[in-house]
Amino acid sequence: MFALGFFLLAGLLCQSLGQYEYDDEYYFPSAPVEGLSTPTCSQECECPLSFPTAMYCNDRNLKFIPIVPSGIKYLYLQNNHIEEIKTGVFDNATDLRWLILDNNNITSDKIQAGTIDKLSKLEKLLFSNNKLTKAPGPLSKSMDELKLIGNQLSSFPSNTLSGMENLTTLHLSKNKLTTESITGAFKNLKSLVLLDVSENKLKKLPSGVPPSLLMLYADNNDIDSIPNGYLAKLPALQYLRVSHNKLVDSGIPAGVFNVSSLLELDLSFNKLKSIPEINESLEHLYLQVNEINKFDLTNICKFSSPVNYSRLKTLRLDGNNITHSSMPDDTANCLRQASEIIFE
Ligand SMILES: *[C@@H]1O[C@H](CO)[C@@H](O)[C@H](O)[C@H]1NC(C)=O
Ligand SMILES: *[C@@H]1O[C@H](CO)[C@@H](O)[C@H](O)[C@H]1NC(C)=O
Ligand SMILES: *[C@@H]1O[C@H](CO)[C@@H](O)[C@H](O)[C@H]1NC(C)=O
Ligand SMILES: *[C@@H]1O[C@H](CO)[C@@H](O)[C@H](O)[C@H]1NC(C)=O
Ligand SMILES: *[C@@H]1O[C@H](CO)[C@@H](O)[C@H](O)[C@H]1NC(C)=O
Ligand SMILES: *[C@@H]1O[C@H](CO)[C@@H](O)[C@H](O)[C@H]1NC(C)=O
Ligand SMILES: *[C@@H]1O[C@H](CO)[C@@H](O)[C@H](O)[C@H]1NC(C)=O
């Protein structure tokens, strides 16, 4: 028999040039080496005797989904050439918890009714890099993770995720979503921790996002402002990324980043001319490639005193119109924890 190994698969999304402290990571059971399969396993796949609830059908040039026998909980179908999900394939797969379909060619119109929508115990659906134009479903209310990165979603009806009280992770980056198309879609997701809507066509940050959110990623959109009080409604938020957007000074209301939960704020690659006001608890501030032309310490060090100082560890200001010499003399006292202040 073979031991069930685990390997670390870094999230597709976080190819971050090492800029961020946080990277999400997923553990997947590794695909088994050739070996004995359970007798009920589909002949195209492998169901290891040591892990009989998993069926590995990934990386096999499959054009179709094999019939899934009963008892399977974890189904790996990534990296094939699957184009459709036909009636019947999941009829006996009533225990299915994880369905991994990343990197196939499935279109929304070829997902037949009575397939994914009948998987009442489904918890993870990984469906990135396919050709979906709408979210599959209706999905089970037991979902905890949904990944639809790199599809062609242009709509996302407000009832798509309704009742998913345990959904913690939602990846919708690299689609064609507009501000209007996601209106109301995230409300009442009371366990949601990570929402990624980067690389879409949003003009505004998503509205009605739940207060449980820890990470909100909205890079590479057309966002020009942060609504007044937006962060005050997200008391747990620690990571906010809005890089590669169209933020301008007039779109940043006074005090909008004055919240003590936030640890990382990425406003790089925008059109800001000044350093926004932040709270002293912020640890990482990314402002590279903006149009900043003065080092205004007051916005970062309002509170500064011998015992009160900024918690900033990283401050990136490269790609702006300021140099080290624009830095006021009293900076060091306030930025005493900043090990990385980058100007160029
Ligand atoms: C998807 O289909 C396109 C052509 O329609 C083909 O070029 C591509 O290789 C296919 N990809 C996969 C993963 O099968
Ligand atoms: C489902 O299981 C039953 C009983 O084992 C079997 O007769 C039937 O052919 C299976 N259906 C499919 C689609 O595999
Ligand atoms: C959410 O998780 C809890 C605890 O595991 C479980 O009791 C509950 O049924 C789940 N909710 C749904 C809708 O599956
Ligand atoms: C930031 O918010 C706190 C209350 O949460 C308030 O006491 C403080 O004055 C605010 N700071 C600024 C600069 O507005
Ligand atoms: C930072 O937030 C804390 C808690 O809300 C608040 O007391 C403090 O005044 C804020 N700092 C600034 C500079 O506004
Ligand atoms: C630290 O700064 C906060 C405002 O941000 C202020 O309320 C507090 O009194 C200051 N503490 C000291 C010891 O200066
Ligand atoms: C850059 O800064 C210098 C001096 O601080 C100023 O003279 C110049 O106009 C600025 N350039 C831009 C493009 O803002």
User: pLDDT per position in the chain (344 positions), as tens?
Assistant: 232 323 223 332 333 334 544 333 334 555 555 567 788 899 999 999 989 999 999 999 999 999 999 999 999 999 999 999 999 999 999 999 999 999 999 999 999 999 999 999 999 999 999 999 999 999 999 999 999 999 999 999 999 999 999 999 999 999 999 999 999 999 999 999 999 999 999 999 999 999 999 999 999 999 999 999 999 999 999 999 999 999 999 999 999 999 999 999 999 999 999 999 999 899 999 999 999 998 877 778 776 677 778 889 999 999 999 887 777 777 777 887 887 778 76
Q: Check residue 5 and give its pLDDT.
A: 27
Q: Strand pairing of 6-10 and 284-286?
A: unpaired
Nearest-atom index, ligand 2, CA of 68: 14
Nearest of 29, 30, 25 to residue 11 by alpha carbon: 25
Q: Check residue 301 and give its pLDDT.
A: 79
Ligand 3, atom 5: closest residue by C-alpha: 166
Q: Which amino acid is at 132?
A: L
Ligand 2, atom 4: closest residue by C-alpha: 92
CA max distance for the chain: 74
CA of 60 to the centre of ligand 1 (A): 14
Q: What is the length of the chain?
A: 344
Q: How far apart are CA 118 and CA 31, in angstroms?
A: 26
Q: Check residue 327 and give its pLDDT.
A: 77
The gap from C-alpha 336 to its chain's centroid, in whole angstroms, comes to: 32
Nearest of 116, 158, 159, 107 to residue 140 by alpha carbon: 116
Report yes or no: 97 and 123 within 8 Å, Cβ to Cβ: yes
CA of 241 to the centre of ligand 2 (A): 48
Is residue 308 lining ligand 6, measured as CB closer than 6 Å?
Answer: yes
What letter would DSSP give residue 64?
S
Report yes or no: 235 and 255 within 8 Å, Cβ to Cβ: no
